[in-house]
Every structure is written in C-alpha cells, then in structure tokens.
C-alpha cells in the first residue's frame, strides 16, 4: 500500500504537536505540510523541540493551497475555521477536525454555547460509542470529540444504555493544563498552576456540557441531565473524571455491563475490581482506564475514568478515526502503554 500523506494545520500547538508525535510512529504515514498561524515561517523545532525528526521543518501559512494535495488533513485550530477550509479541500481529502465546529448536531445548542452559525455536524470520532464506529469507516470528515466528553461519555454510557443509572448525572473532572492549549492567560502560568487547584466553568458554564448531554442522551434514549464541574490541577496532561448517578443496581450487575461493553475495545480497559485508575498510566497512550462501583449507602453508581487529554482525548482519537476512515487497522500507530512514572 502507498504511504498516506498527511498535513497538519496548527502544528505549533499542543494538539497539532501530539498528532505529529503519534504519526511519526505510524507505519503507514508520511508527513507533508505543517502549517500555523502567527508562527508561519519559523521551524517546528522552535515550538515542539520534542519532535526531533521534524525539527527543521518550516511552518507554512494555513491556507487551502498549503493543505491541498494530501490524503488526510488534520485541523488543530480554534473553532470557527474548519468548515471553510474543508470546503476548499474537496471530498477526496479526509479532514479530521480536532476542534469543536462539527461536534454538535443541534444548531440551537451550537448557537447557545458557541454563537455564530452552525457549520453542520460530521461523523463523531468516538468509535467506542454505540453506532459511531460504523459511521467513521470510510468517512471523509471526522469531528474529533472534546477531551472531557471522551472521558465522561465512556465512563457513563454503558450504565445509561443498560438502564442501570438514572438519567441525571453528576461529574467532576480534574484536568491538567494542556487542555487549555498554548494560550497566554495569566491563570495558566506555571507559578499560578503549580501548588493550586481551581474550579472553572462551574454550574453549566463549560462548552463541553452540551456535547456530553448529546452523547449520553443518544445512548439513553432520553434527555440526560448533566451537572459538570471541571477542575484545573497542576499537571501537564491527564483527565480524571469522577462520574455518578443514582442506581439500584448491584456492583456485580454494573461491572458485568461494563465488562461486556468494552470486551472487544482495544483502548478501553476496565481495571480489576478494587483498582482505581491513575492518569499517569495513560500518559501518552490512547487508552482509557476505568473502574465502576456502587455505593450502597448513597445509592449511587460511581465510575472513574482516566485518559490523556492530548492522546485519547484529542490526537489519538484523531489518528484512530483516520485509521477507520482509510480502512487501516484501527490501532495502527497508537500506543497502548503509558509513560510512567
């Protein structure tokens, strides 16, 4: 088979860098154009010194012309940019959008949470969600999920799909700071982040909320209420989502449902009973580690999921979907082992 030629728009950011890190180890891929916004004209090495084999590559402007002529184009851009670019790239190109533009199916939800005109939805890049994998095979367009919705949807859908949990869920998800990207904001400075924990977007303020609602309502067959509180913690990567809902099921019923749901999934790992996930075990890997239990005193199901927000939460999912779109083995180029300690 010929090598798949890819381009990355937004190569100087965290998501773009992680796409490249994974693709450098992908057996079937050849790395073409790397583009950026304000950093065009500089070398990749100035922004991503860890990507040694690409250090001397010069970043081009992000335009339909520089991105043309590739089999796959990864877009790692702020929201609002992908629809116009994709339209210019043509249907023969696989466009994998790491941004939010095409995740929501409901134009009203888009308008409420992001504002502006809805660009339409693309096949949703979470293959483990019921029905999603089939829609991704052979597709030319992929909407890569948000990092929080990935962890939270995988933590909760099996119980909701099986009717084991009430459709009202409470989630507190703790995350490292790379999820906010490379934006220069005071609260993301190292001196602010280290030694501190902070909540943000509380009370329905985070834009990932409607995406979580969409995913969980889809599998539950009814509207699921989602109370979502994100917490920023002092680490570069990682999401630990603590998810709960009222249940009358037993631990055994719950674990059986999860074991069955993920039995054939290469990247989702239900830990042995009594073992709880750590994000370090997923660092740099495309894996989801999870555990589920029931608190009989509180009458609640509790599921904790750990992912690397940049790998399974963004770039790993993007590559996984590219594999599905192109008919490659779904796991090609995707690490199952984390980097720890």
Residues 91-130 that bind its own copies (CB under 8 A): none
Under the criterion CB under 8 A, does residue 7 sit at the interface with its own copies? no
Question: Whole-angstrom Cα distance, residue 296 to residue 53?
Answer: 53
Binding positions for its own copies, 226-285, rule CB under 8 A: 226-229, 231, 233-240, 242, 244, 269, 271-272, 275-285
Under the criterion CB under 8 A, does residue 306 sit at the interface with its own copies? yes
Cα–Cα distances (Å) from 110 to 102, 131, 146, 244, 318, in that order, read: 9, 22, 14, 26, 22
Question: Whole-angstrom Cα distance, residue 315 to residue 307?
Answer: 12
Between 86 and 285, name the residue whose CB sits nearer to its own copies.
285
CB within 8 Å of 213: residues ≥ 6 apart: 223, 224, 225, 226
The residue from 3, 84, 87, 336 that contacts its own copies (CB under 8 A) is 336
Residues in the chain: 341
Between 50 and 88, name the residue whose CB sits nearer to its own copies.
50
Crossing angle of helices 14-24 and 316-326, in 10° steps, is 50
Choice among 98, 147, 243, 321 that is catalytic: 147
The residue from 52, 84, 87, 108 that contacts its own copies (CB under 8 A) is 52
The residue from 129, 165, 193, 321 that contacts its own copies (CB under 8 A) is 193
Burial 240-257 (b: 16+ CB within 10 A, else e): bbbbbbebebeeebbbeb
Q: Nearest distance from residue 293's CB to its own copies, in Å?
A: 4
Between 127 and 335, name the residue whose CB sits nearer to its own copies.
335
Of 339, 143, 330, the closest CA to residue 238 belongs to: 339
Under the criterion CB under 8 A, does residue 38 sit at the interface with its own copies? no
The residue from 3, 42, 53, 327 that contacts its own copies (CB under 8 A) is 53
Q: Please confirm, yes or no, whether 147 is among the known catalytic residues.
A: yes
CB within 8 Å of 133: residues ≥ 6 apart: 127, 324
Between 168 and 248, name the residue whose CB sits nearer to its own copies.
168
Largest Cα separation within the chain, whole Å, is 61
Site string for its own copies, 154-173 (x = CB under 8 A): --------------x-x-x-
Residue with tokens 């728009």: 9
Between 281 and 325, name the residue whose CB sits nearer to its own copies.
281
Catalytically active residues are 147
């Amino acid at each position: 088979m010929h090598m798949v030629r890819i381009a990355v728009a937004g190569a100087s950011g965290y998501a773009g860098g992680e796409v490249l890190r994974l693709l450098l180890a992908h057996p079937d891929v050849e790395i073409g154009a790397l583009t950026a916004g304000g950093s065009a004209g500089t070398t990749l090495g100035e922004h991503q010194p860890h990507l040694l084999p690409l250090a001397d590559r010069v970043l081009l402007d992000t335009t339909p012309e520089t991105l043309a002529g590739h089999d796959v184009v990864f877009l790692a851009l702020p929201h609002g940019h992908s629809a116009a670019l994709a339209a210019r790239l043509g249907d023969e190109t696989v466009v994998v959008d790491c941004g939010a533009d095409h995740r929501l199916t409901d134009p009203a939800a888009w308008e409420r949470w992001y504002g502006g005109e809805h660009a339409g939805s693309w096949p949703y890049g979470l293959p483990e969600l019921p029905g999603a994998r089939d829609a991704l095979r052979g597709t030319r367009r992929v909407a890569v999920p948000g990092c929080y919705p990935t962890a939270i949807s995988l933590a909760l859908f099996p119980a909701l799909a099986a009717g084991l949990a009430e459709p009202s869920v409470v989630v507190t998800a703790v995350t490292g700071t790379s999820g906010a990207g490379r934006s220069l904001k005071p609260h993301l400075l190292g001196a602010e982040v280290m030694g501190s924990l902070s909540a943000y977007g509380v009370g329905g303020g985070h834009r990932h909320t409607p995406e979580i609602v969409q995913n969980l309502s889809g599998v539950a067959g009814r509207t699921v209420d989602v109370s979502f509180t994100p917490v920023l913690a002092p680490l570069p990567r990682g999401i630990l989502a603590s998810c709960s809902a009222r249940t009358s099921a037993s631990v055994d019923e719950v674990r059986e449902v999860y074991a069955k749901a993920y039995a054939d999934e290469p990247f989702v790992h239900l830990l042995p009973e009594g073992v709880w996930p750590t994000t370090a075990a997923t660092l740099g890997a495309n894996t989801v580690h999870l555990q589920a239990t029931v608190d009989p005193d509180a009458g609640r199901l509790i599921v904790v999921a750990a992912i690397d927000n940049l790998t399974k939460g963004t770039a790993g999912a993007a590559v996984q979907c590219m594999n599905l779109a192109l008919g490659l083995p779904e796991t090609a180029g995707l690490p199952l082992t984390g980097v720890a300690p």
